[in-house]
Chain A
């Protein structure tokens, strides 16, 4: 049998070899004088600024290695010219909302989850921040003159995780508070307790916390806060009167998954009890097993050859890779069954 020596790519490489994140900031010349560019650069006082013509000169270069780039992410400050929002993917849950869209004011994430679809979707591991957020607001406002909108703004990045740098969670929240026809979802794996102090409580903004068992976090969600920290942050939000969603999505298969997810729920129960909060105090809960576009998975498997979670022999249904139906049902039925013991069925979303 072939030796598995050195199988964990880069994991034995001391982090001291890499520059810390955002030591290099590429700035489009046209946004050099933008007030938000200046604000962001002010928060990164010792960085090297490299002027570029267009963000794609960096982001779309051929031959990039996302995994290595993730170890020392650079920041790209750019201007978005069009397509300020897109129709929601059929792989994502709309929670019963009509006019489901998502928006990418930031592309790429500071976290490094081995199964993340961004690795399959983007050619680069560097992070792009579009500084002209007001143009997004303008485009959404125009849409809202005709219809209501359910907009997810934190799919292609974890906005809350980079809030100290870009401040977009706050900006989106304030925008939503002035536009009642807009319902916003801000999804995160972060656990920034202080966020609740600076955010405005608004009925049409849902803060969605993705929860995973600690064992999975350690195995596949590199750089993310612990299960406990995420739970505590979500509970704090509820206690402060914010609208908080829990996302058990994606549920990932690993040997012993049932025990791990069960343990996660038990720890959640304990934390809720200690905080005198119940599951029904959350706005809702979503459940979904891992699924991903076939082409993205193909790319991720090449990049993460040693990650069991993406090397699982999935089945392909209509261009989407997912767990075999019997496993998928087993996992979702188990988890929904457990949730039903704890909260009203109508608050559990599963599509």
Chain B
């Protein structure tokens, strides 16, 4: 699943249309749109530090797996940057806290990369830093890092204010975000694909839990047995036939003492 966090609805609008996202009616604090089919969820966070709450709430409700992605997509300003250009942020400076964050950039992407500074309030003309600037990236990173690995968080920003053109009209803003959205969908599709392909990474239990219960062992014994069965499974050792033999002879299920004996016997099959 790719979860996109946008500060404002006009930033999200085009993505909602592109992926045919439906509004989740039961969400009270933030507007959430999603599609199970597209494997995309989009959250409208509001401006500034409120985004941290949105990330926490959404990530708690839908805990991300090792193969899911968080994408912070939205508008930004940047003196000397081209309008409507999309940037992938490789360095995020929190102007209020003075900390700097570095999302990993492991996946290929078609964007230019840049540093972004997140401010707690909009910056007046002439006060913009040399980097891009916005109001959410740092807070989304900090909150997201409790749930996602450093390579699972992607920050994509569309330049809507170059510090020269003057105040951006609502209509102009919508147009710029539409252009920006068209540029990021290909990359989002790629993230969805990666998420799908790597879905088997979780350290799944390879054997049913009731096998452990048959031994009636202590926690330590269960851990040892678990490790042994995992190894047997990975090396293609047919431990099922062996366990069935114990069952047929009435040695399984068993008490703790007998369980210890069987564990030792299984050990001898390791090598």
Q: Do A and B bind each other?
A: yes
- List A contacts of B194 (CB < 8 A): 13, 17
B126 touches A (CB below 8 Å): no
Tell me the bound Cα distance from A7 to B230 in angstroms. 12
Q: Are B90 and A24 in contact (CB under 8 A)?
A: yes
Interface size class of A (residues with CB under 8 A): 35 or more
- Known A48-B113, A57-B100: A302·B203 in contact at CB below 8 Å: yes
User: For residues 99 through 128 of chain B, which have their beta carbon under 8 Å from a beta carbon of chain A?
Assistant: 100, 102, 104-108, 113, 115
Q: Are B150 and A64 in contact (CB under 8 A)?
A: yes
- Known A9-B200, A62-B145, A313-B267: A69·B206 in contact at CB below 8 Å: no
Interface majority SS on A: helix, strand, loop or mixed? loop
Q: Are B271 and A65 in contact (CB under 8 A)?
A: no
Option from B148, B151, B152, B231 in Cβ contact (under 8 Å) with A311: B231
Number of chain B residues whose Cβ lies closer than 8 Å to a Cβ of chain A: 45
- List B contacts of A311 (CB < 8 A): 227, 230-231, 234
Option from A2, A8, A69, A313 in Cβ contact (under 8 Å) with B205: A2
Q: Are B66 and A65 in contact (CB under 8 A)?
A: yes
B228 touches A (CB below 8 Å): yes
Which of B108, B202, B207, B267 has the most A CB atoms < 10 Å from its CB? B108
Tell me the bound Cα distance from A53 to B91 in angstroms. 12
- Known A1-B206, A2-B208, A19-B106: A50·B200 in contact at CB below 8 Å: no
Tell me the bound Cα distance from A53 to B100 in angstroms. 9
Q: Are A308 and B208 in contact (CB under 8 A)?
A: no
A130 touches B (CB below 8 Å): no
A63 touches B (CB below 8 Å): yes
- Known A52-B102, A311-B230: A9·B201 in contact at CB below 8 Å: yes
- Known A2-B204, A63-B149, A69-B151: A19·B108 in contact at CB below 8 Å: yes
Tell me the bound Cα distance from A224 to B160 in angstroms. 47
A89 touches B (CB below 8 Å): no
Chain A nearest Cβ from B97, distance in angstroms: 14
- Known A1-B206, A65-B150, A324-B267: A312·B231 in contact at CB below 8 Å: yes
Closest-by-CB residue of B relative to A19 is B108
Tell me the bound Cα distance from A24 to B108 in angstroms. 12
Closest-by-CB residue of B relative to A304 is B203
B249 touches A (CB below 8 Å): no
Chain A nearest Cβ from B89, distance in angstroms: 11
User: For residues 163 through 187 of chain B, which have their beta carbon under 8 Å from a beta carbon of chain A?
Assistant: none
- List A contacts of B100 (CB < 8 A): 52-53, 57
- List B contacts of A305 (CB < 8 A): 202-204
Tell me the bound Cα distance from A302 to B87 in angstroms. 34
Option from B91, B104, B204, B240 in Cβ contact (under 8 Å) with A64: B104
Option from B66, B207, B228, B235 in Cβ contact (under 8 Å) with A1: B207
Closest-by-CB residue of A relative to B152 is A65
Taken residue by residue from 192 to 230, chain A's Cβ proximity to chain B (1 for < 8 Å, 0 otherwise) reads as 000000000000000000000000000000000000000
Q: Are A68 and B205 in contact (CB under 8 A)?
A: no
B247 touches A (CB below 8 Å): no
Give me the interface of B with A, judged by CB distance under 8 Å: 66, 90-91, 100, 102, 104-108, 113, 115, 145, 148-152, 190, 193-194, 197-208, 224, 227-228, 230-231, 233-235, 240, 267, 270-271
- 10 A-B pairs with least C-beta separation: A6-B200, A305-B203, A308-B234, A72-B106, A9-B201, A65-B149, A313-B227, A313-B228, A327-B271, A63-B149
A-B CB contact pairs (8 Å), 22 listed: A1-B206, A2-B204, A6-B200, A12-B197, A14-B197, A18-B106, A50-B91, A50-B102, A52-B100, A53-B100, A63-B149, A65-B149, A65-B151, A68-B106, A68-B149, A69-B104, A253-B271, A305-B204, A307-B234, A312-B231, A313-B228, A327-B270
Give me the interface of A with B, judged by CB distance under 8 Å: 1-2, 4-10, 12-14, 16-19, 23-24, 26, 48, 50, 52-53, 57-58, 61-65, 68-69, 71-72, 74, 253-255, 302, 305-308, 311-313, 323-324, 327, 330
